[in-house]
Amino acid sequence: MNSEELKKIQTPLKDKYREAPDSAVYTLKAKGKLGEGISCKVETGRALADAGLHPATGGNGMFACSGDLLLEALVACAGVTLGAVAASIGINIKEGFVRAEGDLDFRGTLGVSKETPVGFKDIRLFFDLNSDADEEKIQTLLKLTERYCVVYQTIVSGTKIDTKIVNSSVLG
């Protein structure tokens, strides 16, 4: 997709959102069903993803761990965002790869050490791009990708999450 095609699609949406800001607010949803053993079948909208314990916490390695899914969501979002930004600012990417890796200390997750935080300690996001763009354009591409990537911004901002348990008769 080139810049003109992207603008043709996004311009009416941007105009609508400027005129009616509330129309830009969407609620995205995810749903899962607890499965056999310690697993959860997550409906992704397109398929089911089976999630389970990571082998470092006693899992058998047959299921995706939620940490993997988080990194995969980051890679997917960053890749799509980078592609859209590149098209928007006129950078031709001949080929590109996105990779994320993160460090977890499972002592926190397993309650072995109360001093060890639960969650990723560090996440690294890599873009391997084949492009004719100069270094200044590439740095602009990176900055704008970071700025507009929903998953990246959610992670770095530490978004508040409200949790509650509801009676199963209420679930639909």
pLDDT tens sequence across 12-50: 988 988 898 888 887 777 776 777 766 677 777 777 788
Label residue 170 by pLDDT band (50, 70, 90): low
Nearest-CA neighbor of 155 among 146, 163, 164? Answer: 146
From CA 102, how far away is CA 123, in angstroms rounded? 4
pTM here? 0.82
Tell me, what's the pLDDT at 169?
A: 66
pLDDT tens sequence across 132-167: 999 999 999 999 999 999 999 999 999 999 999 987
Half-sphere exposure of residue 114, counting CA atoms within 13 Å on the CB side? 0
Topology of 25-157 in CATH? GMP Synthetase; Chain A, domain 3 (3.30.300)
Tell me, what's the pLDDT at 171?
A: 56
* SS3 assignment, position 3: helix
Of the chain, the end-to-end C-alpha distance in Å amounts to: 39
pLDDT tens sequence across 94-135: 989 999 999 988 889 888 889 999 989 999 999 999 999 999
Nearest-CA neighbor of 70 among 92, 91, 49, 90? Answer: 49
Domain boundaries in the chain? Answer: 25-157
More confident residue, 78 or 35: 78
